[in-house]
Structure 1
């Protein structure tokens, strides 16, 4: 897989029958929606896809469905296959490779807090598989932050590491990573993991975003990132105010993906609720978020 760039959607997992079953038919429709609206790639089974509460069997089945649905559309598939167990991450990643995914998104092992040596060993094991890897640094959920220095050291050890999803919200560290990245013989693609920080991250060397908002506004996110990458900064700044406000709203009423699912359900995409322990938004929260969504639609025409 070449450089990763553009708007990449962190796909929600749609549920039906009181969230007991995955809605594979709707997954197919959502992939088609993204193929028609400028999305560059799809990430199934990430944070937004509720990976902690889907079974291993569902996890693999979702990846297979997305790969199947994306075939022939030009969409790339970056499958979420990380785990805090190296053995399980290896199994998921191997299955994703066999299914035909273009790359894997590997979340930094969570809860057990590996040292830098443990992180290097973890990614070195995954590097034994023949699938490009994207390191997912999200300390707010994992409990550890991978420093720019350690990220580059992992990249030097792992020839299959092609990108980083930067979700630590620390622009100083991301800037340092972008500077160190230039020293690599094959620089990593640096992707914003936060819609609201896409513009500043791309300004220091990023190439795109793995986006929550793109689930419902794929064309907006594609246009936004396209203008940034084409250095049309006046237009990018105009769009940034829209993206910033909407993306902050999506995360202001509860943990992701509670907000985006509420908006999608209102907009006619019956993606269901979230699996416990996440819940649906309260009615008052939903109404407030829907109001913001309706105002955004008016702006977009």
Structure 2
């Protein structure tokens, strides 16, 4: 009995210390902005018999995804060797990329060029968790309310109470500023039920028309880093704007072509069936008359005039 009593005391003290640490973390200036978006699982609640709570399918989905039956390797150690080769290759690419970026940044700073990231940080007034200086400037940097993925991932990774946040897309897919990571934090009342995402310490779950897809948090961060590396390439960064301009240009050209074709069909007599047939007949007769000779010059002699007239 004494042992149980002491263990219960220690458990209560640990719980109180955990709650104190969590309250201090949430009361810090960097986290005050996002407090209203963080949802914690309720400890006690009443619900109707036919209501399924949100965390039940989420928990079942996590159990289904996290447990994977191991597949035996056909060659022992082959997969590990391939993964080691890929890791070394990625490490070399990352080092070379950081070196090139450092040299480029040094050259630009010598010329007194202002980076677009510095302009965005000074001019943007977005409702994000923090500045996120490590993030690359993506096409959605002008949209208000877009959350910085790096800061949100780091914040949710440190949570231990099972809390999560709701996210929706800040702009529609037809916008030139749309990106897969143009997400903003919302409360449950403002969630678009057909397409929304949740992020917790386990990962990101996307709900599209009732279907769920789960992505581990480390995998989500890796995909985000890969996307940022792609967006450093000019073709990918301006693709949506170029595509809109290209479609607009092709539409203008086709409209002019259609207008010219309509004008020709209405005014050009070649397109009139009756006039076209008459014109072709006249042209045929003209070619026939070109080949016809009015004078017989096969015999060239010193004819007198009346002999020549008689020969004709």
The TM-score range, normalised by the shorter chain, is under 0.3
Query: Normalising by the residue count of structure 2, what TM-score does the alignment of the two structures yield?
Result: 0.21
Richer in helix (by share): 2
Richer in strand (by share): 1
Query: Normalising by the residue count of structure 1, what TM-score does the alignment of the two structures yield?
Result: 0.21
Larger Rg: 2
